[in-house]
Structure 1
């Protein structure tokens, strides 16, 4: 039976979440407000005992279970914040919980779940992905009669998350636009159904990672539809398919959907840190990333913005990646490739053309007796306008250049590999992979491919998630492509071909024709 808007309102108002959750602060971001020209407020859900909002929905759902369901024990599948929320609730309610997590889950998250749950929680590590862990949780629930606690697609879970909206309106009733992160949609559904009933004039902007935009895909299709794959950086919202009930509510109450990329998320993490000294996890920074984009695209000023810092469970090693990428997201840095003649004075002349700009990165490689290739990063004071001027100046002086600021492969891999060209012509084909962080993963990769194809290039990049990023080159003739792709499908990793990527062609391949 469909839960009505009025029933959701009642569920939110009557929710017992404050048995475990705190009424988190709704803080004003002074510096960010000045940058945007809008009044920006941020709901600090990092202040919850488990450092995320997930505690609210988990506790509300558990609190509505009957004694028989509680006695049977509860179960869920999660690799992150939902798992920690369930563990905390199980300890407080003194019930038994089984939490299935992928074997690839970082140890820090597994230990956090065990610490929150204590003797009330049994952690089961199964599979290499959330989908595999979820299937195992369903099998165990059927086998043992456990009560399933969904992470988002459940009216009680949705209502628990909606308590955030209730607090926000009480703390600042003057909100004009509210930005809400979307993974499975529980937070956006719960908040929007509440806000639109209490203050219909509020504009609701749902925010997704561009690598996991399941709401946008569902709106386009008219129903929840699975994404072929999701990115791993904003792992807190890495959901392939939005929930059925969450989609119904978002479709009705959300006014607009914005997607943001990883660079924009890194910038938002820095924006939050600059004002609060809190380090948000990537998914937790989605609303702030969207505020910057929304204000710029719509030329909006003088409005009251509200957002949710929905989690701060960040892996420490992710900070290296965030630091590298945040200024690209702010458009305070640009990276580009440039070809210079290999002759005396050319290098000096090129540096003079940069006009005193601060150089953030400089990779130089002798390419032949006629030319050299350079990967350059520069600081920008005036954003894209300044960079466009620089590109025109270089091109006019016969220094062909190529903007790499939006080239993900260049930023993840090639900038660390500049300078390697094969000594002889190869039938080289380049592929990127998402590589699970688990013992034996590399050996599995190599065994599956076998010894039929020579690996000509390999670069691994870890940014603190359950999966790393690999760039690999293989030498095989076109006649063997079908066999090679069959092996890749057998491997089961997410992959994409990068052979035509201009960063590869310019710096690493034996074909040099991107400016021709």
Structure 2
């Protein structure tokens, strides 16, 4: 594999230079480790997906496919890499994308592909979109460019590992390599390339809680299809890991796969934007979020490489990301309160709030012929330990209340 990947990397240099491998001082200081970020968000399409697409096209064209139409299905990043490569090789392409794809990714795909591509929006989830693309290929005789489950794609994604190894200081071998997982092409490629250098137990794989396709497949010993997927982390919201990729990863332990809460990923996105000025999409924030899950005790004194897989973030999503981040950090909570309908009741309630507590949302409609009314209230605070104090004040005042912050069904209706 190494020789083929090195050849693919040499060919890739005609398209763009190596992405940086950077020591992140902020994260290194936090965890007492030397933490490198492999910045795939700085590729021409702001993700590593361009690598696999280029390698697939290169090989297909060499074997006579230039006169055929290329087809792909993607939640965004594979589509952008595909479009960029279509224009590079000047071949026609059709991109199938889920209807739920962020508009920013759709617009960027059009920009990268120009006159060489057309876009079709189909289905709410990636797997529905992927099936539509396969049906199109079967009817038209086009060339399907898979997002992850193909040897040429895996080989292209493995060039991340080849670059990483060349960029590390001489003699340095990472104690941990943290890889985000969606369909598994990046992880299959990188672990395959580095297997003679990095010990198997030194890899960590991270998936969103709402799309644990690798974790569940490892637990059962065979590839499974998830019945339900949370598509918030759209770049990794895959219902079924690739068969070839699972075959490459099935020897790893389930303990090496970290499932990360979507709201925790939001904390990473906002922190990296505010502190480092780095724009990350949810899938691109997975490996950094994994650092918090591992914790300082598991990282201190170690050399760590975390692959930052993408930075195609739609800023229209920022209010939702900030909201999720604050809820995860216990800096914002929502309550339904049962309050007496009498003059002065609201004033009494406000007196329970601390100096650092702020009302972010308040909904109340007084109803006649009732002694009590229900209030929806959102409270922000500066420190999470303020909420236990506030709840104690509610209890002492005899207020009946329900904390609905973590009740996803109820919260989605009212927040």
User: What TM-score do you get using the length of structure 1 for normalisation?
Assistant: 0.72
Give the Å deviation of 1:346.
4.0
Deviations 1:148-195 (A, max 9, x none): 211001122112112212322333335322221111111122122233
Matched, 1:335 2:334: yes
Q: Which residue of 2 aligns with 1:272?
A: 272
Say which SS state the counterpart of residue 280 (structure 1) adopts: coil
Structure 2 SS opposite 1:336: strand
Q: What is the count of residue pairs matched by the alignment? A: 405
Gaps of 5+ in 1: 1-6, 416-516
Q: CA deviation at 1:59?
A: 0.9
Do 1:28 and 1:42's aligned partners in 2 also have CA atoms closer than 8 Å? yes
Aligned to 1:211: 210
Provide the residue aligned with 1:314 in structure 2: 313
Q: In the alignment, what sits opposite 2:12? A: 17
Write the distance in 2 (CA, Å) between the matches of 1:211 and 1:413: 19
- Work out whether residues 32 and 271 of structure 1, in 8 Å CA contact, stay in contact via their aligned partners in 2: no
User: How far apart are the structure 2 equivalents of 1:154 and 1:129?
Assistant: 21
Call closer, same or farther: CA 1:406–1:166 in 2, change over 3 Å.
Answer: farther
**RMSD value, Cα:** 2.6
Matches of 1:279 and 1:410 in 2, distance apart? Answer: 31
Q: Distance in 1 between matches of 2:28 and 2:152?
A: 34
Contact 1:77-1:133 at 8 Å conserved across structures: yes
Deviations 1:187-218 (A, max 9, x none): 12212223332121762111111111111221
Among candidates 31, 38, 41, match of residue 46 of structure 1: 41
| 1:277-426 to 2 correspondences below 5 Å | 277-295=277-295, 300-365=299-364, 366=366, 368-381=370-383, 383=384, 385-415=385-415
Deviation at 1:103, TM superposition (A): 5.0
Residue of 105, 109, 113 corresponding to 1:113: 109
Deviation at 1:239, TM superposition (A): 0.9
Q: Distance in 2 between matches of 1:123 and 1:98?
A: 6
Give distance in 2, aligned partners of 1:17 and 1:253: 29
Question: Partner of 1:34: helix, strand, or coil?
Answer: helix
**Residue number in structure 2 paired with 1:257:** 257
On the 8 A contact 2:336/2:374 being kept in 1, the answer is no
SS at match of 1:178: strand
Corresponding residue for residue 79 of structure 2: 83
Say if 2:127 and 2:239, in contact at 8 Å, map to a contact too. Answer: no
Do 1:91 and 1:116's aligned partners in 2 also have CA atoms closer than 8 Å? Answer: yes
Q: Tell me, in whole angstroms, the C-alpha distance in 2 between the residues paired with 1:370 and 1:114.
A: 56
Q: How far apart, in 2, do the equivalents of 1:21 and 1:192 lie?
A: 23
Aligned to 1:147: 143
The answer (yes or no) to whether the contact 1:176–1:202 under 8 Å persists in 2 is no
CA distance in 2, matches of 1:29, 1:300: 14
1:188 and 2:187 matched: yes
Note the C-alpha offset of 1:85: 0.7
Distance in 2 of aligned mates of 1:281 and 1:106: 11
For residue 88 of structure 1, report the CA deviation from its aligned partner: 0.9
**Aligned mates of 2:167, 2:201 — CA distance in 1:** 15
How many Å apart are 1:124 and its aligned residue? 3.8
CA 1:387/1:179 → structure 2, altered by over 3 Å: closer, same or farther?
A: farther
1:81-123: per-residue Cα shift (whole Å, max 9, x none)? 1111111112112223232334554554333223222233233
Q: In 2, Cα distance between the equivalents of 1:338 and 1:300?
A: 43
- Cα offset, 1:341, TM superposition: 3.5
Distance in 2 (alpha carbons) for counterparts of 1:386 and 1:251: 45
Deviation at 1:17, TM superposition (A): 2.4
CA contact (8 A) 1:339 1:374 kept: no
Name whichever of 385-394 and 275-284 sits farther off.
385-394
Is the 1:291–1:305 contact (alpha carbons within 8 Å) kept by the matching residues of 2? no
Structure 2 gap ranges (5+): none
- Write the distance in 2 (CA, Å) between the matches of 1:360 and 1:267: 21
Match status 1:171 vs 2:167: yes
**Structure 2: distance between partners of 1:70 and 1:26:** 34
Q: Does the aligned pair in 2 maintain the 1:272–1:278 contact within 8 Å?
A: yes
Name the SS of the counterpart of 2:67 in structure 1: helix
Q: CA deviation at 1:228?
A: 1.2
Decide which of 56, 59, 62 is 1:64's aligned counterpart.
59
The change in CA–CA distance for 1:347 and 1:314 in structure 2 (over 3 A counts) is same
* Other-structure match for 2:21: 26
Runs of 4+ in 1 over 6 A off after TM superposition: none
Paired residues of 1:284 and 1:309 also in contact (CA < 8 A): yes
